[in-house]
Structure 1
Amino acid sequence: MTTRKKLKIINDPIYGFITVPNKLIFELIEHRFFQRLRRISQMGMSYLVYPGAHHTRFHHALGAMFLMEKAVRVLRSKNTEISTTEEDALYIAILLHDIGHGPFSHAMEHSIVENISHEQISLWMMEELNKEFKGALTVAIKIFKNEYPRKFLHQLVSGQLDMDRLDYLRRDSFYTGVSEGAVNSERLIAMLYVKDDALMVEEKGIYSVEKFIVARRLMYWQVYLHKTSLVAEQLLVKMLKRAKYLSDKGAEVPASTALSYFLRNHVSAQDFSAEILDTFATLDDYDIVSAMKTWVHHEDFVLSELSKMLLNRDLLKIKLKKKPIPKEKMEEKRSEVMEKYNLTHEEVTYFVFEGLIENQAYDMKKDTINLITKTGKVIDVAKASDQLNIEALSKKVVKYYLCYPKAH
């Protein structure tokens, strides 16, 4: 095949033109592992609530890399030494931080692979790419795993004020139309500072940090934990679990080659060989959507109903409460539904279930956001804040939910 002309500039709706910094980054973007992210939605099932939320992990990874370039420039201008090797490693680490996400972003982790996080799969993919690129990703992997001696580099990739969060809040806000999440990423990056190997923010950036923490809280309640997105995500997980259960029982569950492999096999962290990783790397949203369209006609009532609900956006009813759902309330609902649809005890658990959601905008105990004053004093933003009580936002809020079929 002919060699493609090198693509140097990408037009992004949020930041305008993004320049690919070097040949290695370009080759990683071109790699099939990374190109697959074009087919993985950034926000799972949120498009059922916000029709514009069809952007992908591909968009987000490039955006986060663009912000990392800005952060490197800012920190160098403030006399923080970052070598060319470290700079390239930061770009690689942030570009590939989400490469291990499965279809619809989080559904796979809770259904057809056994307790394997996307971070773990991202790491395996990076290690596989490192073999292919003859060790060029070694420093990036150390930064990603927080094993590199300069700790602030890891904070730029994964911390309270990392480039990942600064991009996804702004990007998700843009595509959903929820303006409350529009953080001023440029100003926040301009205020970054490194002291004693720790990332912090200049004191004059306090209001931008406050806005960032509030934006995060609002985006979680209004978008990421929106009750309709929540019930859709749960139905997706249950549909995949049902398909796996039926496959285990020997039933025929038509699906693509990659999806069939994960439905038929129990894959744990110990089993994840290079071959399995290769199969995983061919799996994306389209496998799930196409399977769902076939499963609508499946003879199993549960699989068929769950698929119909998702395809036609005819979801379960969901009620949010401040206290745990009483056991008798759930049993009562289950009995009603079992009788109405002639279901077994096991089958009804797919249609009547409970759970909880948590939201903590700022964790004061873990990885705090510190401010540095003109005199060099370091203070936690929650202690310095006069505008809003950040301490109140650091309290974990828990809500409980109950899902059950609507009365048709």
Structure 2
Amino acid sequence: MNKRKIINDPVHGFIKIPNDLLYDLTEHAYFQRLRRIKQLGLTHLVYPGAVHTRFQHALGAMHLMSSAIETLRSKGHTITSEEASGAHAAILLHDIGHGPFSHVLEHSLVEVSHEVISQVIMQKLNEEFEGQLSIAIQIFNNSYPKGFLHQLVSSQLDMDRLDYLKRDSFFSGVSEGVIGSDRIIKMLNVVNDRLVIEAKGIYSIEKFLVARRLMYWQVYLHKTALAAEQMLVHLLQRAKWLIANGEVLFGPPHLLYFMKSKPDEKEFFSNGEVLNNYTMLDDEDIMCSIKMWTSHEDVILSTLAKGFVNRQLWRIKISDVPIEPTVILAIQEATSRVYGLDSVEQSKYFVFSDSITNNAYSIKDDKIEILYNTNELKDIAKASDMLNLSLLGKTVRKHYVCYPKCIETELQTASTLF
């Protein structure tokens, strides 16, 4: 069988699958599941074109890994064929543990991070492929001797970020996210086992960091998508509560498995039933179930389900300062009156308050270092004449409250709330 396939990708053009092992990984049911998980969760409710998948992103990141390895080899750095295959497999599988709607339901439907689940799945695949993923797992876990290979998979300038910024910008239509990924990769080098960027690429890095910050505000943390995400989280919380109290709800068995139980990290590694159920979960399971719940007799569940399915999303107000508890209580009381709820406590399914943060560059994590012709290395925060340390390292936090639009007439009597 010919396994040297070429995939036509709208972002990068033609993508080659480097070897038979990687082809077999892309054909595996665990990886094919990523076709049914949207890269940007619920962001398509804001940007209709943003319906691309984790499957596409993983292939794109693998393509960029090929370019990065070719660049580093051309500059005299030794990367064996086994190491190259391991790096390709690590980036191909880096998101294999994502659940339905990507980050939205992490720690909600399943209370274990997708990074941990990715490791579980990679260990399982390594058994199936008779140890051929051992180097990939070491690179993924940063336990392989050549640390720069891990940085290509996970760092502040990894192939993951270089693909998702360009891809998410393309499919959402938000041009502020366009980055010069090809030029950044061409400027890659290695010094003391650390990835660095040659000085000629500094402006591309500045553009990359600005694009990342703008994409977070305009796409990843867009307030309408945030409202939809909170509705989905609280909708599933209500469904879990009903099931725990004896209610029988419609849902695929593998979804109901996690609605009824809370397997921890240890169980994911030791209990095959947990992994078998998890690797069946995708976006379609959630949507199918929620559509059925729109006609449920529980007013909280059915109201949230109808609003979510029909894109009748809640109002969201964002503030630079924390929302006063008295404001939240007033909104909860108004919600209780409008929906005829038994208690203010029940209104917490409709009224949500939290905060969001945006940080383009972490000065505490692995740094992006600029390599000059003199062999001097400088952190981008110090090397840039456009972006200073206080701007790059600043974490911006915003607070929000989310509630049903239909209660706003009740809130008019309290016009000083906002």
The TM-score normalised by the length of structure 1 is: 0.97
Question: 1:110–1:237: 8 Å Cα contact kept in structure 2?
Answer: no
Shift in Å at residue 390 of structure 1?
5.1
Aligned to 1:78: 75
Distance 1:139 1:208, change over 3 A: same
Report which stretch shifted further, 233-242 or 201-210. Answer: 233-242
Shift of 1:368: 1.0
**Range with bigger deviation, 45-54 or 104-113:** 104-113
Match of 1:342 in 2: 340
For the residue of structure 2 that corresponds to 1:205, the secondary structure is helix
| Rounded Cα–Cα distance in structure 1 between residues aligned with 2:404 and 2:117 | 35
Q: Which stretch shifts more, 104-113 or 275-284?
A: 104-113
Cα deviation, residue 107, structure 1: 2.7
Q: Distance in 1 between matches of 2:325 and 2:390?
A: 34
| 1:167-178 equivalence runs, <5 A | 167-178=163-174
Q: Structure 1 residue 248: deviation in Å? A: 1.0
Amino acid in structure 2 at the alignment position of 1:125: I
Q: State the Cα distance separating 1:142 from its structure 2 match.
A: 0.6
SS in 2 for 1:358: strand
Distance 1:108 1:406 in 2: 24
Q: Is the 8 A contact 1:181 1:215 kept in 2?
A: yes
In structure 1, distance between residues paired with 2:79 and 2:360: 30
Matched AA of 2:285: D
- In the other structure, the counterpart of 1:379 is 378
- Measure the CA separation in 2 of the matches of 1:146 and 1:156: 11
Q: Residues 173-196 of structure 1: CA distance to partner in whole angstroms, max 9, x if unpaired? A: 000000000111000000001000
Contact 2:381–2:392 (CA under 8 A) maintained in structure 1: no
Q: Which runs of 4 or more aligned residues in structure 1 lie more than 4 Å from their structure 2 counterparts after TM superposition?
A: none
Single out whichever of 159-168 and 242-251 deviates more from structure 2. 242-251
Report the CA distance between 1:265 and its aligned residue. Answer: 1.7
Q: Does 1:97 align with 2:94?
A: yes
Aligned residue number for residue 54 of structure 1: 51
Which residue matches 1:399? 398
Residue of structure 2 equivalent to 1:34? 31
Which runs of 5 or more structure 1 residues have no equivalent in the other structure? Answer: none
> Once the 2 structures are TM-superposed, how far is the Cα of residue 346 of structure 1 from its aligned partner?
2.8
Deviates most, 58-67 or 246-255: 246-255
Matched with 2:355 is 356
The answer on 1:119 being equivalent to 2:118 is no
5+ residue gaps, structure 2: 408-418
Aligned counterparts of 1:7 and 1:378: Cα–Cα separation in 2: 40
Instruction: Give distance in 1, aligned partners of 2:100 and 2:404.
Output: 25
Identical aligned residues as a percent: 54
1:80-121, CA deviations, whole angstroms, 9 ceiling, x for partnerless residues? 11111110000000000000000000233232222x100010
Q: Using the alignment, how far apart are the partners of 2:331 and 2:401 within structure 1? A: 10
Q: Which residue of structure 1 lines up, in the alignment, with residue 304 of structure 2? A: 306
**Any conservation in 2 of the 1:34–1:58 contact (CA below 8 Å)?**
yes
2:195 pairs with 1:196: no
* Cα RMSD (Å): 1.1
Structure 1 position 5, deviation (Å):
5.3
Q: CA offset at residue 387 of structure 1? A: 2.5
Number of residue equivalences? 404
Distance 1:266 1:119 in 2: 17
Number of the residue aligned with 2:175: 179
Paired residues for 1:280-299 under 5 Å: 280-299=278-297
1:65 counterpart residue number = 62
- Matches of 2:2 and 2:369 in 1, distance apart? 45
**Does residue 159 of the first structure (1) align with residue 158 of the second (2)?**
no
Q: Who is 2:411 aligned against?
A: none
In structure 2, what residue type is equivalent to 1:371?
I
Match of 1:25? 22
